Amino acid sequence: MSVVPIVDIDDVLFVSVGDELEDQAVATLQQELAERVVATRARGVLIDISVLDVVDSYMARALHEIAAATALLSARTVVVGMRPEVAITLAELGLTLPGMLTALSVREGLAALR
C-alpha cells in the first residue's frame, strides 16, 4: 500500500503529496495510480503538491511519467497547488512538465478535467 493516499472523487483520483517522497514511495505511487486508473475507470488524476517546498528533477520526472502513463490509460493528470518558488526553480533549471496540466487550486484542477 502506498504511503500517499489516493482518494476517488467521482471519476477523478486525488492525491495529496504531504511530504517529500523517497524514491521507492514515488515508484509505488506511480504503480498504484496506474492500477487505480484502470480499476476505477478514472478520467483524471489530480496531484496536489501545495505542501512541497522543492520539486527536484527526480520528482519532476516522476510527475511527467505519471502523466504519461495515465494518458496511455485515457486519463489526464493535473498538478495543483504549485508554489511560486517551486515554479521559479523548475523554470530556472529548465525542467518542464510536458503532457501535464497545472492549476492553482483543486477546484480549478477539477474544472480543467471537466
Give pLDDT tens digits for 51-102. 888 888 888 888 888 899 999 999 999 999 999 998 998 888 888 777 789 9
Task: Tell me the CATH architecture of domain 6-108.
Answer: 2-Layer Sandwich (3.30)
Task: Tell me the three state secondary structure of residue 43.
Answer: coil
Q: Read off the pLDDT band of 15 (50, 70, 90).
A: very high
Please say whether the beta carbons of 25 and 58 come within 8 A: no
Are the CB atoms for 81 and 55 separated by under 8 Å?
A: no
Q: Where are the beta strands (DSSP E) in 1-114?
A: 6-9, 12-16, 44-48, 76-80, 101-103
